[in-house]
Amino acid sequence: MTSEPLYAVFQAARRLIVGAPAEAARVARKAFETRPDVPIIVFDRATGAVVDLDLRGDEAAIQARYAPTPETTPETVKRGRPKLGVVPREVTLLPRHWEWLAQQPGGASVTLRKLIDAARKGGPDPRARVNAAYRVMVTLAGDHEGFEEASRALFAGDRVGLSQRLAVWPADIGQEVLACLDADPPGT
What is the pLDDT, as a whole number, of residue 162?
Answer: 96
pLDDT bracket for residue 36 (50, 70, 90): very high
Residue burial 123-151, b: 16+ Cβ < 10 Å; e: rest = ebeeeebbbbbbbbbeebbeebeeeeebb
Query: Which pLDDT tens digit goes with each residue over 37-72?
Result: 999 999 999 899 999 999 998 889 998 898 887 654
Can you say whether residue 57 is alpha, beta or left, with left for phi > 0 and alpha for psi between -120 and 50 degrees?
A: left
73 three-class SS: coil
Percent of the chain with pLDDT over 90: 54
What is the pLDDT, as a whole number, of residue 185?
Answer: 52
What is the pLDDT, as a whole number, of residue 106?
Answer: 83
Global pTM value:
0.70
Tell me the C-alpha distance between 21 and 3, whole Å: 11
What is the pLDDT, as a whole number, of residue 103?
Answer: 87
Average pLDDT, the chain: 86
Nearest to 140 by CA among 169, 163, 164, 120: 169
Q: Is residue 19 pLDDT above 80, yes or no?
A: yes
Q: Is residue 88 pLDDT above 60, yes or no?
A: yes
Q: Is residue 177 pLDDT above 60, yes or no?
A: yes
101 vs 161 pLDDT, higher one: 161
